[in-house]
Amino acid sequence: MVQEGRMRQKRKEWMGVVGALGLAAFLLGLFGGIYSLGMAIALSVSVWAVGATLVLALTDPPEGD
């Protein structure tokens, strides 16, 4: 039970990291001019989707018997 609480806390922290990475990718395209606006939107949504999936998969608490 304690392990599950720790995993949920880490999940929240990692979701914050993924959100920040997606936002950074978007802002680099929007204001930095590194790539087009369409590419910035696609890249940020991709980072959020893949990152959230990985966070959920890797922080899923182990099943007990």
Listed in sequence order, the residues at least 6 apart from 6 whose beta carbon sits closer than 8 Å to its beta carbon are none
Q: Mean pLDDT over residues 40-65, rounded?
A: 89
C-alpha atoms less than 13 angstroms from C-alpha of 47 in its C-beta half-sphere? 19
pLDDT bin (cut points 50, 70, 90) of residue 4 is low
**Overall average pLDDT of the 46-52 stretch:** 96
Q: What are the angstrom distances between the C-alpha of 36 and each of 11, 41, 45?
A: 32, 9, 14
Res. 17: pLDDT tops 60: yes
Q: What sign for the dihedral angle of Cα 42, 46, 48, 49?
A: positive
pLDDT band at 60 (very low <50, low <70, confident <90, very high): confident
